[in-house]
Amino acid sequence: MEKVQEYDEREELRERIESWTEVPLNLLGIALLVILIVEFSMDLSAEWESRLNVANWFIYIVFTLTFFVQLVLAPDKRGYLRRNWIAAISVLLPAFRVFRALRAVRALRGMRLVRVLTATNRGTRSLSRMLRGHQFGRVMGLTAAVVLVGAAALVYFEGGGTYGEALWWSMSLVTTVGSDFQPETLEGRVVTLHLIVWGLGVFGYITGAVASYFVGRDAAAGAGEGGGEGTTAEELRRLRAELAELKAILTRTGARGEGDPP
């Protein structure tokens, strides 16, 4: 009994801390996206690179402390890690920055790609939580964030183009329109694949939303023109009434037949 009580108390404290830190962490997640876009898409001076590096480390420290505090408090640590495995990767990722000498090595480009994916995941989750309750606005906001980050990643990994051109490529991929852009690097292909998959998901959502809107409008129009007789709900109510009337007739007929001679 004491273990169950301790389990509940620790989980309640963890959830309380998560609630307290939700808004600040959401804002930091969006700031992380902005920093990533600026860092990957622009030629910055040494001073600005230093400032962005400090901001990155500050956000990293805040996320790391929050993650480990909640991990320590979580009574089911394996379950917590399973639910937050991407957050765990993003916490461990900056540790590889100590290998500054490997900047030209292929593996470092792969780590940059992982950083793009984890930062995008964290930032979009933050944006999604801030826009909850506004389903269509949330989808559009997340799509805009994915397009902006995808363009910055394409500029960095592919090179040879401006951010405006990469933004056009990114929008073309997400809208499934297509373009003449063909990624040449492995990292660029991974980013392109994610943009295409996201675009297909958004296209499916928009198609479903538009279909639901027109179906609902037609149903409302039918109810207004026919006094509700043409709607499915009205037909069901009328069918129930007819069945009840038929049941009553059969009951009365059966009651009369019980007293009659065979």
Residue 225: what pLDDT? 53
3-state class of 20 per DSSP? helix
Q: For residue 243, what is the DSSP state? A: H
115 and 239, same domain (yes or no): no
Query: What pLDDT digit, counting tens, does each position of 100-153 carry?
Result: 444 444 455 667 777 787 788 888 888 888 887 777 788 888 889 999 999 999
Task: Please report whether residue 173 resides in a domain.
Answer: no
What's the rounded Cα separation, in Å, for the pair 255 and 180? 81
- Give Cα 254 to chain centroid, integer Å: 61
Span 37-60, mean pLDDT?
A: 87
Residues 168, 194 contacting (CB under 8 angstroms): no
* Alpha-carbon dihedral angle through residues 72, 76, 82, 87, given to the nearest 10 degrees: -20
Please indicate, yes or no, if residue 177 is contained in any of the structural domains.
Answer: no
Q: Any idea which residue has 């990293």 for tokens?
A: 60
Q: Is 158 inside a domain boundary?
A: no
> Residue 250's pLDDT is what?
62
C-alpha distances (whole Å) from 220 to each of 21, 84, 213, 225 are: 44, 44, 11, 9
Report the mean per-residue pLDDT for the chain.
77
Residue 242: what pLDDT? 74
* Stretch 47-61: mean pLDDT: 88
Domain-embedded: residue 53: yes
The reply to whether 37 falls in a domain is yes
Residue 148's pLDDT is what? Answer: 92
Q: Whole-angstrom Cα distance, residue 215 to residue 237?
A: 20
| Domain range enclosing 53 | 1-130
Q: 172 pLDDT exceeds 70?
A: yes
Between 162 and 248, name the one with better pLDDT.
Answer: 162
Scanning the structure block, which residue is given the tokens 């292929």? 106
Domain boundary at 130, 164, 187, which? 130
Number of domains in the chain: 2
Residue 228 CB: number of other CB atoms within 10 A? 14
Contact 168, 142 (CB under 8 A): no
The domain boundary residue, chosen from 114, 130, 146 = 130
The residue out of 130, 157, 189 marking a domain boundary is 130
- For residues 180 and 157, is the Cβ–Cβ distance under 8 A? no
For residue 70, pLDDT beyond 60? yes
Better-predicted residue by pLDDT, 176 or 20? 20
Say which CATH number the domain at 12 has: 1.20.120.350
pLDDT, position 147:
92
Assigned token pair, 222: 């039918």
pLDDT tens for 202-258 read 887 777 777 776 666 655 655 555 544 445 666 677 777 777 776 677 666 554 544
Q: Are residues 121 and 236 in the same domain?
A: no
pTM of the model: 0.68
